[in-house]
Structure 1
Amino acid sequence: MFEGLKETLDRFKDDVEEQAESVDADAEVDADAADVEQEETTDERDDAAPPERDSSAETADDDREVSVGFGKRAKAFATGGVIIQPEHLDEPLETLEFSLLSSDVEMGVAEEILTGIRENLEGTVRAQVQSTDMILESALKEALLDVISVGQFDFDQHVAESDKPLVMVFTGVNGVGKTTTIAKLARYFERQGYSAVLANGDTYRAGANEQLREHADALDTKFIAHEQGGDPTAVLYDAVEYAGANDVDIVLGDTAGRLHTSNDLMAQLEKIDRVVDPDMTLFVDEAVAGQDAVQRASEFDDAAAIDGAILTKADADPQGGAAISIAHVTGKPILFLGVGQGYDDIERFDPERITDRLLETDVENH
């Protein structure tokens, strides 16, 4: 995952480093020129009569302003440093913007990243003990974290502290892996010592009961369903009642795959919210859907007020744009990434770890 974004950020770092090297060369030339100019000025002052006072304050101020700017550059060079100027970022940032959009990063998110990078880099003085790469990595990490950390909270702590049973309802369009994700989370919670019940609120799709039942049997987990065509709210309500009566910790409820434009299905989701009052409504989509996933997340959030998102097939996503866009667009966090077909192939979405991956920083396995 993230190969496309890694290449994009690597190219940006190379572009800025190339600009910094040219600045180093210019600063050396300027410093040499300053020495020569100072020597010539001193010789002329020794030979010439005292100059008349210049009554133009504006001219003096202009000269001082230029010399201060020049002095800062010369001092930076003398100490082994370099000042990153706005013009050194213009072309690399323009290239980076195009590459981010090509990697399925939503336009507003790309603009936010570029703004953060520029604010973090402009006027930065690279000290002698630092490398340009160190400066860039720090600026990029801060800009990326600002975007992908939106809404993040300690999911495991939230589960531990919530009243039981904790009810989670899953929504999204058909075919994105909702049912498999529910089964993966049942295993995830089991490994943490929680019991769960699976409930099939997708009462319209042929085969939905059988699909979720197979997962429940494989996981040795209680399964609750009604006949096809029944009321989804009734199924989930029964699951909550069962969990309460049998000290089950977590209810994981599937719902029919729906589009935000499907009024009937959205009305059902509203009824579930009203009657069952789930603790969390989680949106599921494919990471490989890119901009489509970002758009759908925004639309579902508008229609059903999601609490977070889960991206499936993250291991097959060569770009990663959706993963760094959805949280910023919806204001709700990405909570998990599906990274394979097995029940254990799900991992918590960790913004720090994601940025380390993007910037190729060594990170311990969590």
Structure 2
Amino acid sequence: MFDSLKEKLGSFREEVEESAEEKVDADAETQAETDADVTAATADATDQAADPTTPEPAGTGPDPTEESDGPGFAKRAKSAATGQTIIEAEDVEAPLDELEMALLQSDVELTVVDEILATIREETIGETHLITKSTTGVVQRALRKALVDVISVGQFDFEERVAAADKPLVIIFTGVNGVGKTTSIAKMAKYLEERGYSSVLANGDTYRAGANEQIEEHAEALDKKLITHQQGGDPAAVIYDGVEYAEANDVDVVLGDTAGRLHTSDDLMEQLEKIERVVDPDMTLFVDEAVAGQDAVQRARQFNDAAEIDGAILTKADADSQGGAAISIAHVTGKPILFLGVGQGYEHLEQFEPERLVDRLLGLDG
């Protein structure tokens, strides 16, 4: 999962390390030459003091108080003498340019890329980031902070919210056709069951041919009650009936499917707004494919603008080598990614943990 992005982040870290460590060697060599010059000048001065008749050669000998190679050399040289280095802008700019292109090629949204690069600059450049022997630590910490900052926007504890909510808790699933929305509902039913919660499925996707049959197969496989109406019925009425069933039968959670819709489809968006009015769901989850990359990011933004989602589920995350959607969606919507679909089985719904994902990307999970 996200192997391509992981490789690109590793390449960036190696390039910054190499650049900074080459500078350490160069500064150490220059410092050694300066020390030798100072020693020679001191010896000459001692000889002259012992023989006052010896004239001092005009314009010869280094001035040990004079800095070399412009401002900051003395500070760098002092650090080099103790096996340290200061990461400067010149050490990171070329690798950052390459990282910017790598992130964009991995479908990370432009504003998210800018945020990541700004954080890396802030966390790496300057004397406050003095590193002994290697820059590995500071670069790794900077990358980790930058990624965690953009991925964890709006994050909340899903299980805690489910536990604290009045029952029945109503969760509505939205998204375009074909992204695994109905399957994600079935996986969520299994996920909740494993944590001791009962659920009822309500099929608000009343217009798509075969929608009832598809969700019915899942309901039978999971031994869950399914509420459906005739094709073409009112989606809000179906989900409302699901809520009434849950109230009458002490069911904990109502999982409501909706028709796959685009933000440009006014009638479908009106249906979603009606569901909001009639049912007043506790949570609306946007579902899309991780492999959709920038398309998923833009759809998440548009759905959030139209209906205000509470969080997202990304399906096919196990097949996504780029990671752009996982990196970007929370940042552009202000709403968290809550789950990843990582396989075909009902058990393959993984709670999204930003820090764990970042550690995977940086190879820190082993």
State the TM-score, normalized to the length of structure 2: 0.91
Q: CA offsets, 1:257-279, max 9 Å, x none?
A: 00001000001101111110000
1:337-360: CA deviation from partner (whole Å, max 9, x where unpaired):
001111001100001110111001
Match of 1:223 in 2: 226
Counterpart in the other structure of 2:52: none
- Aligned counterpart for 1:154 among listed residues 153, 157, 160: 157
Q: Which residue of 2 aligns with 1:328?
A: 331
Query: Whole-Å Cα distance in 2 between the matches of residues 70 and 98 of structure 1?
Result: 32
Asked if residue 95 in structure 1 is aligned to residue 98 in structure 2, the reply is: yes
SS at match of 1:327: helix
- The answer to whether the Cα contact below 8 Å between 2:187 and 2:346 also exists between their aligned partners in 1 is yes
Deviations 1:210-261 (A, max 9, x none): 1111101110011001000000000000101111111100000000000001
Q: Which residue of 1 aligns with 2:357?
A: 354
**Alignment partner, residue 38 of structure 1:** 38
Partners of 1:213 and 1:39 lie apart in 2 by 88
Aligned 1:304-323 pairs, distance under 5 A: 304-323=307-326
Match of 2:347 in 1: 344
- Report percent identity of matched pairs: 64
Q: Which amino acid aligns with 2:10?
A: D
Matched, 1:9 2:14: no
Q: Which moved more, 1:62-71 or 1:240-249?
A: 62-71
Q: Distance in 2 between matches of 1:253 and 1:283?
A: 12
The aligned counterpart of 1:74 is 77
Task: Measure the CA separation in 1 of the matches of 2:130 and 2:186.
Answer: 51
Q: For 2:287 and 2:45, how far apart are their aligned partners in 1?
A: 77
Say whether residues 1:293 and 2:296 are aligned partners. Answer: yes
Q: Distance in 2 between matches of 1:68 and 1:339?
A: 53
Alignment partner, residue 53 of structure 1? none
Task: Tell whether the 8 Å contact from 2:21 to 2:135 is kept in structure 1 after alignment.
Answer: no
Identify the residue that residue 62 of structure 2 maps to in structure 1: none
**What is aligned with 1:141?**
144
How far 1:312 sits from its partner (Å)? 0.3
Which residue in 2 is equivalent to 1:209? 212
SS at match of 1:174: coil
Matched, 1:125 2:125: no
Distance (whole Å) between structure 2 residues aligned to residue 20 and residue 170 of structure 1:
49
Q: Secondary structure at the match of 1:303?
A: helix
Q: Name the residue aligned to 1:23.
A: 23
CA distance in 1, matches of 2:71, 2:301: 49
Kept after mapping to 1: 8 A contact 2:116/2:146? yes
Using a 3 Å threshold, how does the CA distance of structure 1 residues 67 and 299 change in structure 2: closer, same or farther?
closer
Displacement after TM superposition at 1:26 (Å): 1.2
Aligned to 2:197: 194
Structure 2: distance between partners of 1:345 and 1:214? 18
Q: How does 1:169-180 map to 2 (within 5 A)?
A: 169-180=172-183
> Does 2:275 correspond to 1:272?
yes
* Deviation (angstroms), 1:90: 0.7
Asked whether the equivalents of residues 197 and 252 of structure 2 are also in contact (C-alpha less than 8 Å), the reply is yes
State the SS of the aligned residue for 2:72.
helix
CA contact (8 A) 2:180 2:315 kept: yes
Matched to 2:242, the amino acid is: A
The alignment partner of 1:159 has SS state of: helix
Contact in 1 for aligned 2:202/2:255 (Cα 8 Å): yes
Structure 2: gaps spanning 5 or more residues: 49-54, 57-64
Check 1:34–1:63 CA distance in 2 against 1; reply closer, same or farther (3 A cut).
closer
Q: In 1, Cα distance between the equivalents of 2:141 and 2:148?
A: 11
How many angstroms does 1:134 deviate by? 2.2
Question: How far 1:20 sits from its partner (Å)?
Answer: 1.6
Which stretches in structure 1 are left out of the alignment for 5+ residues?
A: 50-61
1:337 is paired with a residue whose SS is: strand
SS across alignment from 1:104:
coil
Q: Secondary structure at the match of 1:205?
A: coil
> Contact 2:68/2:74 (CA < 8 Å) preserved in 1?
no
CA pair 352-294 structure 1, distance change in 2 beyond 3 A: same
What one-letter code is carried by the residue in structure 1 that aligns with 2:9? L
Deviation at 1:75, TM superposition (A): 2.2
Of the structure 1 ranges 117-126 and 87-96, higher mean CA displacement relative to structure 2 is found in 117-126
SS at match of 1:343: coil
